[in-house]
Structure 1
């Protein structure tokens, strides 16, 4: 199933996406229902909701006539992992640092807490973070918790996931340098926008693409229709099961929590700064740029970058 949250002019609703990409429709459920409200068990409520949407929808609308929101517009929490160590090496290479990683990176997965209030939809405009001149995209996949849990074993933790969606944690690289210098984790670098969508694709839909680590379906990122990166989840250094086991250690994961995969190698502008091909890096994101993440399995996001709002300065001048 491919679940969407949408607005057709009369408020937020949830529905099932139906079609093959040509003339798609949304089979909507009654007003007041939310995708989050169908989570929390082994999938029975979501399956029943899907059967209702197919057989007796409250409304059927053309996809072109609705505005898609993030599938989970207000997640209980957002965490973003770093499951592709080659992405880290690519960033280090671009910064002129050694690509030999310290042992800590292979001892446990790394992650940071994102900002649920920053979540936006797959076609929403994206203002540049205030004060940033080095604004970047991130090609990632978000996993959504369907059934909560604590201290999950790595070999069964993925059974707590209900599905997957695109995840783009837009990054202000100049703010990130200050965050890293302060040394207490991601702050304003990752605070301005997180794109989720266009749909929550349930786990069963993606089973044909399953690999030993992750999935084999292809994902791409483009800027102004110029391809930046192509990859898949098949090369993850940390599986989602291992990441969920670590994240749930001593704490609860809750239904609707969104967990990012970390950036697919090559899936950000920073990794292309030092490339030998000058066409591969044409500068940081600017107002008017169109950024898209796409996959046959997950759909497509397509967003226009907008100018940054003005900075409210501190007494120090920052």
Structure 2
């Protein structure tokens, strides 16, 4: 299934994609009495039983619960994830970005050995999440804004010390993640070796959507085509099959002596040529960013200065 959270003008509701511009209000389809269908988080926590119920409703698709995509506004599928982490697992992106960073700062950057041995990640701001069609507010302290085309997983079943072999069973689904970046702020912070701060942390800086595609629809390890456009022009992209560490390895690493919970989001990091930095190009006020991932859809947003 392709699932989303949309606003109908009154409230946020959980919907399933029926195709051809139509969505199914899952809660309304069930008569408005089933708590597992009230929100994406509730559905995730409801486990396989809740997913089976949602699939049953999609098969029936009662007419009164059908709505047109054009009549609603999309939100992030998980408007407030339980937790957000973002990894860095595409070697091409890292090589390209380090070359550009060296040109911009005059300082040499090289991929550390640890990157090849284990996934590296930081914890992102789960309170600054927006969805498809919503505007990104340009942070006042930055002059060099960029996007990042990423694939993300949503954890369905929690656990601690999860093995790489068992990890795929813990994935609820996949979505697109646009990790917006203030590159000038990020360059100032990088020598501190503590991880991104104001280079990543600003309101509306994390974008998810438009759909979560349930894990049963996508084979693991994932190999999906990815493409980035700005104002209709293709800037770059690649394929998620180029991940140096798979999502299974990522889950195993993160869950070592640490419990993962249903509703956590984990980003892959940027696919090679999936951001402007790699190309020596940055965004301008009013630019429209379109990030497309095979099977999931297109995540479209405009960046605006206040």
Give TM-score scaled by structure 2 length.
0.90
1:312 corresponds to which residue? none
Counterpart residue number, 2:13: 13
* Higher normalized helix content (fraction of residues): 2
Taking structure 1 as reference, are residues 56 and 294 closer, same or farther at Cα in structure 2, changes over 3 Å only? closer
8 Å CA contact 1:40–1:148 kept in 2: the answer is no
Partner of 1:49: 54
In 2, Cα distance between the equivalents of 1:71 and 1:254? 17
The 8 Å contact of residues 7 and 13 in structure 2, kept in 1 or not, is answered as yes
Deviations 1:54-90 (A, max 9, x none): 4265621101111111111110100001111221111
1:299 paired with 2:297, answer: yes
Measured on the aligned residues, the alpha-carbon RMSD in Å equals 1.8
1:101 maps to what in 2? 111
Report what 1:147 is aligned to: 157
Question: Gaps (5+ residues) in structure 2?
Answer: none
CA displacement at 1:188 relative to structure 2: 1.1
Superposition map of 1:214-229 within 5 A: 214-229=221-236
- Determine the structure 2 residue equivalent to 1:77: 83
The equivalent of 2:130 in structure 1 is 120
Q: Contact conserved, 2:178 with 2:208, CA < 8 A, in 1?
A: yes
- Residue equivalent to 2:92: 86
SS at match of 1:196: strand
In the other structure, the counterpart of 1:63 is 69
User: Could you give the per-residue CA deviations for residues 26-73 of structure 1, whole angstroms, max 9, x where no partner exists?
Assistant: 344246701111223652212212313442656211011111111111
**What's the CA shift for 1:95?**
2.2
SS of corresponding position for 1:228:
strand
Tell me the residue number matched to 1:285.
283
Q: Secondary structure at the match of 1:215?
A: coil
Q: How many residues align?
A: 292
What residue number does 2:148 align with? 138
Q: 1:56 to 1:227 in 2, by over 3 A?
A: closer
CA distance in 2, matches of 1:26, 1:306: 32
Task: Report deviation, 1:203.
Answer: 1.1
Shift of 1:296: 3.8
Find the partner of 2:39 among 34, 40, 48. 34
